[in-house]
Amino acid sequence: MASSGARLNGLCLCGAVRFLVTAPFTDAGRCHCKRCQIRSGQSSSLIARVPRAGLEITGGADELRVWRPPTGHPKWFCGLCGTHLFAGELDAEGPLFLRLGTLDPTPNVEPRWHAWVSSMPSWATLPDDGLPRYDRGLTAPAAHR
Ligand SMILES: [Zn+2]
Ligand SMILES: [Zn+2]
């Protein structure tokens, strides 16, 4: 599905934080939750999941900042430019959720779902792509939030 398995570089807008994705995506989809709207300034964000071992911070680790919401995954971003990079625990084995716009080269991705469509703004429309649509998070695989 998701990626070809090629190694992908990730970086923030100012270039201070860099990372390398070494594992194929295990899942990808579009999340329409309100947090994704605020974080991205758009109606949704495209997200891919990788195992923790498949992501290596290669630069600017000192600039990484995290927001830990009361529910859901911690959100990692660059403290200098504010770019949101990924979500999940860096000190655990659980998956990380990548913000796909940060990756270079642009990976081949086949989104599999739309999550949190009940939170979509009235000015956004879903494409007629035949993918499953979930009112809220996914029941399986585990929900990104
Ligand atoms: Zn930055
Ligand atoms: Zn979301």
- Looking up residue 111, the CATH number of its domain turns out to be 2.170.150.70
Report pTM.
0.87
Find the domain containing 36 and state its range: 8-119
Q: How many domains is the chain built from?
A: 1
Contacting residues for 119 by C-beta, under 8 A, at least 6 apart: 32, 33, 34, 37
Ligand nearest to the CA of 117: 2
Span from the CA of 59 to the centroid of ligand 2 (angstroms): 26
Res 5: pLDDT:
58
Span from the CA of 101 to the centroid of ligand 2 (angstroms): 14
Q: Indicate whether 132 belongs to any domain.
A: no
Q: Indicate whether 39 belongs to any domain.
A: yes
Q: Indicate whether 97 belongs to any domain.
A: yes
Q: Indicate whether 83 belongs to any domain.
A: yes
- The percent of residues in the chain predicted with pLDDT above 90, rounded, is 81
Give me 89's structure tokens: 């625990």
Ligand nearest to the CA of 69: 2
Q: Name the band, by pLDDT with cuts 50, 70 and 90, for residue 138.
A: confident
Ligand nearest to the CA of 80: 1
Ligand nearest to the CA of 35: 2
Q: Indicate whether 140 belongs to any domain.
A: no
